[in-house]
Structure 1
Amino acid sequence: MSESVIRVIPRLDLRGRRPGLRELRAALPRAEFDVETALATVRPIVEDVRDRGAAALHDAAERFDGVRPASLRVPAEVVSAAVDTLDPAVRAALEESIRRARIVHADQRRTDTTTRVADGGTVTERWVPVDRVGLYVPGGLAVYPSSVVMNVVPAQLAGVPSLAVASPPQRDHGGWPHPTILAACHLLGVDEVYAMGGAQAVAAFAYGFDEGEQTCEPVSLVTGPGNIYVAAAKRLLKGLIGIDAEAGPTEIAVLADVTADPDHVASDLVSQAEHDPLAAAVLVTDSVELADAVEAALGRRVAATKHTERVATALAGRQSAVVLVDDVEVGLDVVNAYAAEHLEIHTADAAAVAARVRNAGAVFVGTWAPVSLGDYCAGSNHVLPTGGCACHSSGLSVQSFLRGIHVVEYDEAALREVGGHVVSLARAEDLPAHGEAVLARVPEVEPGA
């Protein structure tokens, strides 16, 4: 392909060298997502919800969503009635998605573990679910009933006793969230659903509010993806509430060699690019032949897809690229440095290559496991770290809703046995009262004994 041709997607040529992590992080494409700047917009919204509660939430809905819901909490009959209007094929797909997600997430449940440290001394790690969670389901360019499944299933299997879902009110649906969202809630047995979106929804969950005789109690944790204002509200309120992550635009990276099917690769890049003009699509390959074939396939698919303009913008943006490398070994360096939300492996011996991936939100192995499978029906969770955060963070799971609490039990003999060491360390840190708390119980112990 001639370099004079206008490319569907930029190219980054790393052939002839093996860049280190620092160079890769600087060179690899990434969406601009300035949460810090968004804080200035979000702060007054959050403070308004804190101060005025339901009135602020109604005003925000009118301002940002173009509709003023009759009530913030969606009536139970509206939630249940949404199932009656659901397309049977969509209902069947949602029920299968729920079934598979429950199978996978059930295996993530933790069991308490008691460790005997000494005779008469044990430490037990208890796994306790958070008391209440707020689950956010976006409602911008697309409708995401699948995000209801991905938020609710792990929270339920963790044993969270109280959970609520928020999704933006829709002008076309009477001021309630989209009926498919409501139907998914009903299928999952969730009846506490609120018509509120954006930063104001995160604030509502953090502070709670009263509306007439109904109360939305504050939550301990907010999870779920959203736009930059949702991410900024999470950052602002972190500490008052726990958060899963500051989700940015979706990402797909594909590591492929000459054995890959270029049309499969192109279709998967397009599938994620249709989310958002800021969505990132990155192909890492050691084959110029494959790169050219994928780009040709992209040209055909972009022209034919429903959201052509959105997809074309995402692919042409600075967050997307075809990255050329010398071999799959360097390609692994690249994808581990990039730490994609979604990573597909289309290489010879894909399973062995995938086993060497250290940084990714989720890894999809071979031609028959596209990212869209994981978005809906693989059983895995699609609420995943973005923006390179997969190098230190995990996707949503049962563990996200649990806290480990250490329970310490020592009898008198066990404390006497180790008490001298406690006194020594307390004195070394110039915190003598720590040691005296032991000596008050077993005064005969000697430091270091």
Structure 2
Amino acid sequence: MTKQLLRSIDLRGQQLTLAQLRRAVPRAAADDTAGVESRVREIIAAVRERGAQTLRELAAKFDGVEQAEVRVPEAALEQALKELDPAIREALEESIKRAKLVAERQRPEDVAVQVARGARVTLRWQPVGRVGLYVPGGLAVYPSSVVMNVVPALAAGVSSIALASPPQKEFGGLPHPTILAAAALLGVTEVYAMGGAQAIAAFAYGVDSIELEPVDLITGPGNAYVATAKRLVKGMVGIDSEAGPTEIAVLADHTASAALVAADLISQAEHDPAAAAVLVTPSVELAEAVQAELRKQLATTKHQERVGQGLEGEQSAVVLVDSLDQGLAVVDAYAAEHLEVITEDAAAIAARVRNAGAIFIGASSPVSLGDYCAGSNHVLPTSGTAAFSSGLGVQTFLRGIQLIDYDRAALAQVAEHIVTLARAEDLPAHGDAVTARFREDSGESFGEV
């Protein structure tokens, strides 16, 4: 019997609680988080203490690059754009155009509420002042991540953007030229050839010798070291999320094409040997057909080794369920970064999903569409965090500031309530701060106002 690429998890005939479902869905084994954190702490401390010297030492150690300058010259950005393949430029421009259309409509309006006569509370959306965007440079090249990070930041009104991507030995210590070209297309001129935890530390604390000012917010995906560094500097700066390896879940029934489902699972497994590919279905026939298609398509895909590792890893599986209702419970417990719904009446089924980073509806909306040209953002929550967090968007780069504007009469209307609540909390000075405003003008006690 031919070995199946995806392991099988059979939940049919079981009535499982949410806790049991979360334990049943496929997940990767926990990383050596303590070991990674210890090394990242050392890197952060070294960057804070020795700045650019540490950045250069780590570029030599991890990237095989002897750096003269950490900051990328603007002339290199211009040259990369000039030499960009016209077809790639056209594709990037289309991706940017669609992302802008969506992002510009996402910006919320300020909200002013007249609470009472003379009493107004306004919620004003204010962009963060300065952002550090991280673009990975490991197994693949990600100009699309430049687009997904920069476009919503610009739509939010961020005025200062710095971008970092690892130095590449084959390109003279600069980031990949397609990354540089994408930055140039979007008007980003502050670009640094630095990667890993050291880039995150440099963004968070700044590096005086290369005139890198600290940022207010760091966004962008990366490996375990990048994610750990973001977690460790959170509080000093804001972060979008601690993104882990990519994942796809497909909720499909007997109407789905096995060939298309298999192609979509492979497309995400192509990212990383740790990528997760999960099929949830009530159809045994579809499950078997998808397994056969995976074997067939794996034989012809370019990155066979890492795709095979991803599919065979414990983070990937076929989950058999009794019905689409049970399937919905499973995908909500899994809370996928990317969820495809390929079923009869897919839009109605998708409308019932509560937890996912992004939902792709029907056979003509593959995850690859969202990776590049849907107009949506592909920086999404992973590892089940879609149950409580959102993907990257304009809102990531905004803060809500409350403006409180009461006149004297409006304050008098609630002053007694404030005093009462202040005394109930044994904070009488809170009440005194209100009554003082009336004594100051009239000399009267609060009770006489």
Q: Distance in 2 between matches of 1:384 and 1:18?
A: 30
Alpha-carbon distance in 1 for matches of 2:226, 2:30: 12
Q: 1:424 aligns with which of 420, 425, 432?
A: 420
Aligned to 2:313: 317
Deviations 1:362-393 (A, max 9, x none): 00000000000000000000000000000000
TM-score when scaled to structure 1? 0.97
- For 1:135 and 1:216, the matched residues in 2 are separated by 13
In 1, Cα distance between equivalents of 2:35 and 2:12: 36
1:182 maps to 180
How far residue 7 of structure 1 moved from its aligned partner, in angstroms, is: 1.2
Alignment of structure 1 residues 129-208 onto 2, 5 Å: 129-208=127-206
Q: Deviations over 1:266-288 (max 9, x none)?
A: 00000000100000000000000
**Structure 1 stretch displaced more, 24-33 or 10-19:** 24-33
TM-aligned CA deviation for residue 113 of structure 1: 1.1
Aligned to 1:70: 68
The aligned counterpart of 1:266 is 262
Query: 1:109-148: per-residue Cα shift (whole Å, max 9, x none)?
Result: 1211110111111111010000100000000000000000
Which runs of 5 or more residues in structure 2 are unaligned? Answer: 440-444
Mapped partners of 1:210, 1:116: distance in 2:
47
Offset at 1:446? 4.5
1:402 to 398, 401, 420: 398
Q: Contact 1:121–1:410 (CA<8 Å) still a contact in 2?
A: yes
State the AA in 1 paired with 2:51: G
| Matching of residues 329-348 of structure 1 within 5 Å | 329-348=325-344
Residue 360 (1) aligns with residue 356 (2): yes
Write the distance in 2 (CA, Å) between the matches of 1:254 and 1:104: 25
CA contact under 8 A between 1:341 and 1:361: conserved in structure 2? yes
- Whole-angstrom distance in 1 between the partners of 2:39 and 2:348: 46
Paired residue secondary structure (1:284)? strand
Cα deviation, 1:416-443, whole Å, max 9, x if unaligned, reads 1101111111111111111110111124
Residue 83 of structure 1, CA deviation:
1.2
**Is 1:392 matched up with 2:388?**
yes
Distance, in Å, in 1 between the alignment partners of 2:232 and 2:357 is 24
Out of 97, 100, 103, the residue aligned to residue 99 of structure 1 is 97
The residue that corresponds to 1:5 in the other structure is 2
Supply the distance in 2 between the matched residues of 1:155 and 1:116 (Cα, whole angstroms): 31
- Once residues 24 and 277 of structure 2 are traced to their aligned partners in structure 1, the CA distance between those partners, rounded to angstroms, is 15
Q: Secondary structure at the match of 1:216?
A: coil
Task: Tell me which amino acid in the other structure corresponds to 1:415.
Answer: L
Q: 1:445 corresponds to which residue?
A: 446
Range with bigger deviation, 435-444 or 115-124: 435-444
| Residues 1:230 and 2:226 are matched in the alignment | yes
Instruction: Give the 3-state SS of the residue equivalent to 2:368 in structure 1.
Output: helix
RMSD: 1.2
CA distance in structure 1 between the aligned counterparts of 2:240 and 2:160, rounded to whole angstroms:
17
Match for 1:51: what amino acid? E
Distance apart, 1:359 and its partner CA: 0.3
CA–CA distance in structure 1, aligned partners of residues 280 and 15 of structure 2:
14
Alignment check: 8 A CA contact 1:31 1:249 kept: no
The alpha-carbon deviation at position 69 of structure 1 amounts to 2.3
Q: Using the alignment, how far apart are the partners of 2:248 and 2:178 within structure 1? A: 26
Instruction: Determine helix, strand or coil for the equivalent of 2:336.
Output: coil
- Cα pair distance change 1:249/1:446, threshold 3 Å: farther
- CA deviation after TM superposition for structure 1 residue 32, in Å: 3.1
Map of 2:29 onto structure 1 = 32
- Partners in 2 of 1:122 and 1:37 — Cα distance? 52
Asked if 1:276 corresponds to 2:277, the answer is: no
**CA offset digits 1:231-270 (Å, max 9, x no partner):** 0001110000100000000000000000000000000000
**What CA distance in whole angstroms lies between the structure 2 residues aligned with 1:36 and 1:183?**
37
- Aligned partner of 1:249 in structure 2 is 245
2:287 counterpart of 1:291:
yes
Give the distance between the partners of 1:108 and 1:31, measured in 2 at CA: 34
Shift in CA distance, 357/36, structure 1 to aligned 2, threshold 3 Å: farther
Amino acid aligned to 1:179: P
Identity %: 64
Distance 1:32 1:67 in 2: 33
Matched residue type, 1:257: D
Q: Distance in 1 between matches of 2:114 and 2:327?
A: 46
Matched residue count: 443
Matched, 1:22 2:23: no
Letter in 1 for 2:83: T
**Distance across 1 between alignment mates of 2:421 and 2:37:** 44
Per-residue deviation, 1:87: 1.1
Is the 1:416–1:445 Cα contact (8 Å) retained in structure 2?
Answer: no
Verify the 8 A CA contact 1:361 1:390 in the aligned structure 2: yes
| Equivalent in the alignment of 1:411 | 407
Is the CA contact (8 Å cut-off) linking 1:31 and 1:278 kept in structure 2?
yes
